[in-house]
Structure formats: C-alpha cells, structure tokens
Amino acid sequence: MGRTFIARLRPGAVLFVSLWLSAASFPGWAADGQKTPRELIQYIEDAKRLGLKENEIRQNAITAGWSRELVGQALAIVRYMGEDASTHSRGGNQGRKSVEPAGYRIGAGDVLQILVWKEPDASVPSVMVRTDGKISVPLIKEVDAAGLTPTELEKVLAEKLAKFVREVDVTVIPKEIVSQKVYLLGAVKKEGPVVLQSSMTVLQALNSAGGLTEYAKRKKIYILRNENGKQIRLPFDYEAVIKGEHPEQNILVQAEDTIVVP
C-alpha cells in the first residue's frame, strides 16, 4: 500500500505519515520486531472492511501488542483517509469520509482534529472554532483559525510549536463543518440554510431542504452566486435534470450560494 497510500495525502500531511510509518526504528513504537506501524495501518483497514467498530479495532490492536498511543495515531490517519469498505469498493477518494468541501476555509463552529507527530500532549482530538475565530491549543494557547485553509493552519501551528517541539510536523483534520452554508428560498419544504457538504450538487441541496413543494415551478429554479464581486444567475431545470437531459445544470454548489425555487 505504501506509495499509493502516501500519494493520497495532502502535501502538508505527506511528511507526517512518512515519518510516522518509519517509527518502527524508534524504541517502543513497535510492540516487537515484526509489528510495525505500516502493518498496524493494514490491520486497521482489514478490520474496517470486516465491519468492526473503531472501539473494537482499538481494543483488539492493543491486545495484539501495539501501544495505545500508536493505535490512536494510526486510527486517526486511517479515519482521515477514509479507508473503509466504501473506499475499497468504489476506489480512489470517492469513499473518504472527509466533510471538507472544495475551497474550504475554516469557520466558527467547525470542529478540528490536530495531530502533532510524536507529541500526544500537543495534539488535540477535537476542538471547536469559537465565535471569535480562535482555537485553543496546548503550549501555544490561542490561535486564529477562521478564514484559513487546513494547510494554512498547519503552517501557523508548526511555526508556533517550533518554539517548544523539535522537528514539529502538524496535520489538521476537519471533523465537522457547520460554517459553510447554502441557502434555499421559495417552494421547498424547509426554507433556510443547509450545511454545505463535500461535493454537494443542486439536487442534493434541494433534497437536504426536504424537496420541492407541489406548487414549485420546477423548470424555473435558479442559483444565485457571487463571483468577482458580481452576482450571477445560473438556471436549473429540475424536470430536465432528473430525466438526464441537462446534467450540466446539476452543478456543485458553493458556500453562500442561494437556490431559489419560484
């Protein structure tokens, strides 16, 4: 799996996993000479394909001889990559469970996981971005996170942690995103904001709003989007799209799009 596994990571995480996988050369990181971090990741992936829950996998791996710390970090990496049954059945990254939409920037209310290689005391399993846009992190206390991409936040954290940690390498994983929304107005069953999910299409956004009402003008739907300071209007013919006649209209929605159903 090695090369393919590494290739699927964001550039900011490649060094993190590469160094992590080589950790068997450090005393105490492998239970014995035959149980390496690479084998642990494979063990977790196999267990997930068999349908085991994460708590079961964790306990079984610890019982098998891997350290609790190593198992925790391996589970986080596999979770980040979304290496579950759907990944292996559909291939590539289509099955990954990341909630991160394209162009995502961190916002208030989002929940992040912060992994600092070989520094569990500096890592944060779960931290919510406050309304002031900051997060609390061990050693460096408060950091401005809102408005940054995960990769940008990794660099900021690495720079600040470098004062306390040698050879610091940080990975930021979005666990829950609530800050990015799409708005639905008009003849839908649930008007208002919908949380933007990864690769969400117009049809999926409409479905998240409960679908159309019986009085909806299905051929007259449109999307309002701001581009370069100007508002543009994109047509969406519901009847045609569900018949497969105009699939190009079923575009990926973006944060702050407004879908209007007359």
Q: What is the reported pLDDT for 90?
A: 35
Comparing 82-86, 189-193, 200-204, 215-219, the range with the smallest average pLDDT is 82-86
Domain 111-176 is found in CATH 3.30.1950.10:
yes
Residues 115/85, Cβ–Cβ less than 8 Å: no
Q: Which residues pair with 173 in a beta bridge?
A: 113
| Alpha carbon distances (Å) from 185 to 5, 188, 219, 251 | 42, 7, 15, 18
The yes-or-no verdict on residue 8 having pLDDT over 80 is: no
Could you tell me the two tokens for 195?
A: 């949380």
**71: exposed, middle or buried (C-beta count within 10 Å: 0-12, 13-18, 19+)?**
buried
Q: Scan for tokens 């407004």, then name that residue.
A: 258
Give, to the nearest 10 degrees, the angle between helix 11-21 and helix 150-161.
Answer: 60
The yes-or-no verdict on residue 131 having pLDDT over 90 is: yes
Kindly state the average pLDDT of the residues 126-144.
93
The yes-or-no verdict on residue 228 having pLDDT over 70 is: yes
Fold of 181-261: Outer membrane lipoprotein wza fold like (3.10.560)
Q: What is the reported pLDDT for 37?
A: 62
Structure confidence at residue 143 as a pLDDT band (50, 70, 90): very high
Q: What is the reported pLDDT for 122?
A: 85
Domain spans in the chain, listed from the N-terminal domain onward = 2-90, 111-176, 181-261
